[in-house]
A and B are shown apart, each in its own frame.
Chain A
């Protein structure tokens, strides 16, 4: 209906009471806090630090994301689950739970687990390194006993083998092939230590990999072979894996703390929000000042509650000054039936203070358009039923509740319009059908354009109201009124050829030509007026854009028909035909339901935003965000 008025308040109170009072305001949840002109009023901005809260909230979130549910809920139960409830005024007692210790213990265990996993990875790397060497069966200690010779293990490409052997023979270096695979050859080479530079030269321009065993050589006990080392690694790995499993079990046992941690998280979240609210206060030596907004309808109750808090709290409540009014937060006020359509308005952006709230004007059009775009009674019935069930069983709150109510309306709209101009699951109900768009789409098209014509005229009328209120009274009535007369009478003249329609059209056009410009120069005035008349192409384009309603409505009907014909065809398959048919019917219609509702919703919304809003609507209002208790995991009730 409109934008509901808000009042501005200032509250003065002793500094030591600020914290308690803000908690109280959070519980009331009706006022929005705002910043103050600190410097002009010689106030010190309050400094608050939320980082400590933020740290704990992050740590708690991490825990809650990783902990399993105590009683895992599946499918429907999960969808319909409600948050646990706690008393709002007693919420701080929830912090008595020693959550710090729980979080720290959990994190310590988790760190231990990460360390172990890291160690396992390290062991795996060693394994990977050593496993090709299992063919090397000499005990490792033997290699260190050589005095004048050195032993190296080298991996080379098979193609280089011949060249290496040749060069090694010239240098008197012993080369032994230990292992051969498709991609590499493992060589053991033994040489006198003075020959090292020459040996390295052989391999310098080859793709060769010297395996460095020093770490194992120094550690190796007598008689230990590579195979033994690998077994040892395997054993260590298994041990660590067992430990990890045990740790995981311990970590999972923390799930018993989940409900308490959920509550603590939300209490801390609200403490953080409170600190953020406190940072808006302006301080003097002993007192502090808060300012903000309350809805005018709640003002009396607010004042009563604030005075009840303490005798030392002073409150002023007043209507905002014109400058303040521009900054005021916006609350849409519509009858309960129309509330769900506020979603559409808010999606575009809330109106600026003291402008028109378009919700009531777009609601009937949006309702009808979605009905015509989808035009399927059966789908409408399904959507109605599902949203009703969800509203009844899950009792959603806030935005979700509004959205489900909107879906309920759109479902009902489809039951009506699906029956009149479409069908039920692709089957038209002949006796109730007003227009059969598949037989003759023209009447449906005319209906769409007429609806568009009405909405475009309405938007012109609203722009008249808007300009009139802004002070351009004559211009608003002459120009916008001119269009409102011109468009229907022109249409009447073209359709019925009655001369008096023509005169009316000329009257409207005269208004547009003479008053579009404010110039005192009559020539300039008339010419810019004639240019204003060119705006008729814009009106034409907008109205024709509504023909999309026909196209979308047709597409739902045809796809539903396609699904049914395919089902008819597969039905003739012997034995399993009926099964494929039933599955195809359900799947096909669900698919069509999804895409046609998506298309119908988005395109109906576009018609509101692009064709309807552009003439009169001024978005850019700040939404009213009361300072209240936020809920993520639990719900605080009074």
Chain B
């Protein structure tokens, strides 16, 4: 295995685990709030679940970026590509936007959603408004994903 390939794999790993950590923390924050609210009123589970799940998307974006790298490198097939060190670094850097934007935005989205869950506890009919507020934070993860996809698409092996 060449250094180039190793660097590219490092990039894929960073995208998956950094965004994954962010989502885990974000969903964790929202989940705690959700349990707190449900201890008063378990019937709110349905409406709260969506809010608690919202910060989970960053982990998925990270995962799918990692998967795009795996596809690009042909790691699932018999013959893996042999990128040069330059190309490996390019792939790694291309993974940074989704990794870091995902990590930070998921945590903050988790906080927004947790606050939103408390809001739903008091205003059960206003479920979508906190969701839109959560989507405001997620925008930057979406843009990170977009940048990563476009960059990966642009790298020629």
Contact = CB atoms under 8 A, between A and B. Distances in A.
B142 A551 contact: yes
A599 B57 contact: yes
A554 B57 CA distance: 13
B142 A441 contact: no
Interface in B27-72: 50, 53-54, 56-57, 60-61, 63-64, 67-68
Interface residues of A, number: 27
A602 B132 contact: yes
Interface stretch (B6-14, B87-95, B146-154): B146-154
A174 interface: no
A279 interface: no
B143 A551 contact: yes
Contact of B128 (A347, A440, A555, A595): A347
Contacts of A135: none
Contacts of B135: 602-603, 605-606
Central interface residue in A551, A558, A559, A605, by most chain B CB within 10 Å: A551
A612 to B, nearest CB: 13
Could you say which interface size class chain B belongs to?
A: 20 to 34
Interface in A546-564: 547-548, 550-552, 554-555, 558-559, 561-562
A221 interface: no
Contact of B132 (A545, A558, A595, A605): A605
A398 to B, nearest CB: 14
A406 to B, nearest CB: 13
A565 interface: yes
Interface in A520-564: 545, 547-548, 550-552, 554-555, 558-559, 561-562
A121 B64 CA distance: 56
B145 interface: yes
Contacts of B3: none
A441 B50 contact: no
A212 interface: no
Contacts of A547: 143, 146
B131 interface: yes
Contacts of B128: 347, 602, 605
Interface string A594-638: 010011001101100110000000000000000000000000000
A555 B139 contact: no
A347 B129 contact: yes
Contacts of A554: 64, 145, 149
Contacts of A545: 139
Interface in B75-132: 76, 128-129, 131-132
Contacts of A606: 132, 135-136, 139
A552 B64 contact: no
A551 B132 contact: no
Contacts of B63: 562
A161 B156 CA distance: 82
Contacts of A555: 60-61, 64, 145
Contacts of B54: 598, 602
Contacts of B149: 441, 551, 554
Nearest to B134: A602
A588 to B, nearest CB: 12
Central interface residue in A545, A552, A555, by most chain B CB within 10 Å: A555
B61 to A, nearest CB: 6
Central interface residue in B54, B56, B132, by most chain A CB within 10 Å: B132
A58 B146 CA distance: 53
A565 B153 contact: no
Contacts of B132: 602, 605-606, 609-610
B64 A562 contact: yes
A598 B50 contact: yes
B116 to A, nearest CB: 12
B139 A598 contact: no
A387 to B, nearest CB: 17
Nearest to B128: A347
Contacts of A441: 149-150, 153
Contact of B57 (A445, A558, A595, A610): A595
9 nearest CB pairs, A to B: A551-B146, A558-B64, A606-B135, A548-B142, A551-B142, A602-B135, A347-B128, A551-B145, A602-B131
Interface of A: 347, 440-441, 445, 545, 547-548, 550-552, 554-555, 558-559, 561-562, 565, 569, 595, 598-599, 602-603, 605-606, 609-610
Interface of B: 50, 53-54, 56-57, 60-61, 63-64, 67-68, 76, 128-129, 131-132, 134-136, 138-139, 142-143, 145-146, 149-150, 153
18 contacts: A440-B153, A441-B149, A548-B139, A548-B146, A551-B61, A554-B145, A559-B60, A565-B76, A595-B57, A598-B53, A599-B57, A602-B128, A602-B135, A603-B138, A605-B128, A606-B136, A610-B132, A610-B136
Given A441-B153, A551-B143, A603-B135, 14 more contacts: A440-B153, A551-B145, A554-B149, A555-B60, A555-B64, A555-B145, A561-B67, A562-B63, A598-B50, A598-B53, A602-B128, A602-B132, A602-B135, A609-B132
